[in-house]
């Protein structure tokens, strides 16, 4: 949440910062602001998206070669210009701050600093950083930031510029992402790599409790106690084209269509001469055989991937498995031990609730496996093993290709663990692996049927409620389909285990309600049919996702979205596709910005 960009170098930086902000806008879009240092701090801030800020600053050249910019997802203080970043300390102080995260002791600091004569201009927690730096400043910005940082509680990444220190930016990180981009005679700082990917692919990661000082000729890293740290420069594989829409009307649409590739890449990494290898999984075969339990922990769409994973691990590896929401699990007193494998899933690798749950799990002695799409993200440093999805950059706030890449990785993991534990015969494992390898083609052909959602979207786009039903491995897909629709179309949705509908949600049904039912072939199909009958009896309208060849479903459902036939366990990766497309078609009919749904942010770094 919130995106930070900073630049120090030899080029005028106004356009570089604005472009960087546009690349980070998925992190929050309540307001945006820019500070250009050129003998004074020129600050412009606007409520709304970066485009509004762009209009406000105009196209005229600005000579500043040092600057900061920010796109905000509001936590402390309403969405008004006074709360937009960059935030200044007292008027005339020259101190300007951009911040992502939460300063927990901001109120105490505000009291203390106000008593010391500082004048506040906003309701933000961020302003405490600005005044603290001002208070600690006596000509040396690095020293001032270091002293201020030591007084802060909470989780944050912030960057500071000073009017009197052109050519230097000082930043600190605790719990929120921050990365440095290394150019030729210029340095970038950002919450995420896409901000500067058009300029450099060389990065230096900033770790927790570190301070980084960026100057034209390079960055220096200091630990929280001021000890200098060496930090290697790494080259990222991502291509800047990924940050462009490439002819698609939205990032989400592009990402939906990138799913065959995302899945192929995720599989390709793990096959050596046709054999499945999971480098990064630091468990010996003996440890795998000794596992007594698996716990999936995640949030949002990644949680739904974990729910699918639970079925896979139980079915193929016969390991008792459960899946929980990270923000709930971390406040329980979970009973886990060293024979428990905790699989934490996060596209971003930075979701704070998932990170906190991972810490808790490790403290209990469990082996923690991170599944993420972002190399070098925080979760890759707080785990015992890491497996990457290879979905590439996902910019749309609603997850699409990262979800199906997560499912793909979980298939591979379940196959590997089942093989090691002997719960899958060699022959069965080979059959399943062949099916997994065929997923990119199956996904492509399923997406190509996408026009089938159009009449459904035409008919129901103005409805204000949808119910989603599924059973067994279809349930997580009902949940994911419902999440997609609600987050990008703002239609209220409920998703339920189909067998549970009669215990309450059935009261919601009337002759206007669209009910999306995952009715793919499998051992619970007949039970799902009974639930469809219950829906029909209340006059509601059934939209079924079914396996091709099932002609009988046409008599039960008003609309049928067919999927290619595959193993029941692999159906989720296909079944979610028409639901993504349906949500998309409805959201666009409602004239909404699908890439930036209101109130949301792509990376959730606050609790």
When binding is defined by CB under 6 A, the residue of 31, 65, 191, 301 that contacts ligand M6R is 301
The backbone torsions φ and ψ at residue 568, rounded to the nearest 5 degrees and listed phi first, read -55, -40
9 or 300: whose CB is closer to ligand M6R? 300
Each residue 568-607 as x (binds ligand M6R by CB under 6 A) or -, in order, gives --------------------------------x--xx---
602 is catalytic: yes
When binding is defined by CB under 6 A, the residue of 300, 440, 450, 476 that contacts ligand M6R is 300
Reduced 3-state DSSP string for 215-239: ECCEEEEEECCCCEECCCCEECCCC
Q: Which range binds ligand M6R by CB under 6 A, 20-28, 239-247, 263-271, 347-355?
A: 347-355
301 or 588: whose CB is closer to ligand M6R? 301
Collapsing DSSP to helix, strand or coil, 4 comes out as strand
Number of residues that bind ligand M6R (CB under 6 A): 17
Q: Is 344 in the site for ligand M6R (CB under 6 A)?
A: no
When binding is defined by CB under 6 A, the residue of 399, 453, 475, 498 that contacts ligand M6R is 399
Which residue is associated with the tokens 């930090």?
Answer: 231
CA gyration radius, the chain: 25
199 or 480: whose CB is closer to ligand M6R? 480
Contact (CB, 8 A) for 297 and 354: yes
Residues contacting residue 388 through CB under 8 Å, at least 6 positions apart: 269, 280, 371, 372, 373, 375
Residues contacting residue 463 through CB under 8 Å, at least 6 positions apart: 491, 512, 513, 514
Extract long-range pairs of 146-152: CB within 8 Å, 24+ residues apart: 146/211, 146/222, 146/226, 149/211, 149/224, 150/224, 151/105, 151/109, 152/103, 152/105, 152/128
Q: Is 397 in the site for ligand M6R (CB under 6 A)?
A: yes
Adjacent-strand bridge partners of 368: 342
CA dihedral 512, 516, 520, 522 (to 10 degrees): -90
- Minimum gap (Å) between residue 136 Cβ and ligand M6R: 34
When binding is defined by CB under 6 A, the residue of 258, 487, 569, 595 that contacts ligand M6R is 487
Q: Is 130 in the site for ligand M6R (CB under 6 A)?
A: no
d(C-alpha 130, C-alpha 88), whole Å: 6
2 is catalytic: yes
Q: Name the residue whose CB lies closest to ligand M6R.
A: 300
Q: Is 302 in the site for ligand M6R (CB under 6 A)?
A: yes
186 or 350: whose CB is closer to ligand M6R? 350
d(C-alpha 336, C-alpha 356), whole Å: 16
Token output for 292: 């007594």
When binding is defined by CB under 6 A, the residue of 31, 44, 340, 347 that contacts ligand M6R is 347
**Which residue from 227, 55, 234, 76 is spatially nearest to 156, judged by alpha carbons?**
76
250 or 301: whose CB is closer to ligand M6R? 301
Each residue 504-523 as x (binds ligand M6R by CB under 6 A) or -, in order, gives --------------------
Q: Which of 14, 484, 596, 602 is catalytic?
A: 602
When binding is defined by CB under 6 A, the residue of 192, 299, 312, 473 that contacts ligand M6R is 299
Q: Which of 2, 13, 136, 383 is catalytic?
A: 2
d(C-alpha 505, C-alpha 514), whole Å: 13
For binding to ligand M6R (CB under 6 A), which residues are involved?
Answer: 299-302, 346-348, 351, 354, 397-399, 483, 487, 600, 603-604
Q: Any idea which residues carry the catalytic annotation?
A: 2, 602
């Amino acid at each position: 949440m919130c995106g930070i960009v900073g630049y120090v170098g030899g080029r005028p930086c106004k356009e570089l910062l604005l472009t960087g902000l546009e690349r980070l806008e998925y992190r929050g879009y309540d307001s945006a602001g820019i500070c250009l240092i050129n003998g004074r701090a020129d600050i412009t801030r606007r409520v709304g998206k970066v485009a509004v800020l762009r209009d406000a600053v105009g196209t005229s050249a600005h000579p500043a070669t040092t600057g900061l910019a920010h796109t905000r997802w509001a936590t402390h203080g309403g969405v008004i210009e006074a709360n937009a970043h960059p935030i200044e300390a007292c008027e005339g102080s020259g101190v300007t701050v951009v911040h992502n995260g939460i300063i927990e002791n901001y109120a105490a600091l505000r009291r203390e600093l106000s008593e010391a004569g500082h004048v506040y201009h906003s309701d933000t927690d961020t302003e405490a950083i600005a005044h603290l730096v001002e208070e600690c400043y006596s000509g040396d910005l690095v020293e001032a930031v270091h002293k201020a940082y030591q007084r802060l509680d909470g989780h944050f990444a912030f960057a500071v510029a000073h009017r009197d220190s052109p050519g230097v930016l000082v930043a600190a990180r605790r719990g929120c992402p921050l990365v440095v981009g290394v150019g030729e005679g210029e340095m970038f700082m950002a919450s995420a790599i896409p901000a500067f990917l058009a300029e450099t692919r060389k990065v230096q990661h900033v770790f927790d409790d570190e301070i980084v000082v960026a100057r034209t000729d390079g960055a220096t890293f200091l630990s929280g106690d001021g000890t200098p740290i060496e930090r290697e420069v790494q080259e990222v594989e991502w291509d800047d084209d990924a940050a462009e829409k490439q002819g698609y009307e939205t990032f989400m649409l592009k990402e939906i269509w990138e799913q065959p590739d995302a899945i192929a890449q995720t599989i390709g990494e793990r096959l050596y001469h046709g054999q499945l290898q999971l480098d990064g999984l630091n468990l010996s075969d003996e440890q795998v055989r000794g596992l007594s339990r698996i716990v999936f922990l995640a949030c949002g769409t990644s949680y739904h991937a974990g729910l699918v994973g639970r079925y896979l691990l139980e079915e193929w590896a016969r390991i008792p498995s459960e899946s929980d929401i990270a923000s709930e699990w971390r406040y329980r007193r979970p009973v886990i031990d060293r024979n428990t494998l905790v699989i934490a899933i996060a596209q971003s690798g930075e979701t704070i609730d998932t990170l906190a749950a991972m810490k808790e799990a490790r403290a209990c002695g469990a082996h923690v496996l991170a599944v993420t799409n972002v190399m070098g993200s925080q979760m890759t440093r707080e785990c015992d093993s890491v497996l990457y999805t290879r979905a590439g950059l996902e910019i749309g706030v609603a997850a699409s290709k990262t979800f199906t890449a997560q499912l793909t990785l979980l298939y591979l993991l379940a196959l590997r663990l089942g093989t090691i534990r002997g719960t899958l015969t060699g022959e069965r494992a080979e059959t399943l692996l062949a099916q997994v390898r065929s997923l990119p083609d199956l996904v492509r052909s399923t997406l190509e049927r996408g026009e089938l959602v159009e009449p459904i979207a035409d008919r129901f786009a103005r409805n204000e409620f949808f119910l989603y039903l599924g059973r067994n491995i279809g349930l997580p897909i009902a949940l994911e389909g419902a999440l997609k629709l609600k987050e990008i179309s703002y239609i209220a949705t409920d998703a339920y285990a189909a067998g549970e509908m009669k215990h309450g949600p059935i009261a919601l049904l009337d002759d206007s309600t669209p009910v999306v039912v995952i009715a793919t072939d499998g051992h619970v199909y007949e039970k799902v049919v009974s639930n469809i009958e219950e829906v029909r009896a209340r006059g509601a309208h059934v939209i079924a996702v079914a396996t091709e060849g099932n002609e009988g479903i046409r008599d039960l459902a008003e609309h049928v979205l067919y999927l290619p036939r595959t193993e029941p366990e692999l159906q989720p990766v296909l079944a979610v596709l028409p639901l993504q497309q349906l949500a998309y078609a409805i959201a666009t009919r409602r004239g909404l910005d699908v890439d930036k749904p209101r109130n949301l942010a792509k990376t959730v770094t606050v609790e």
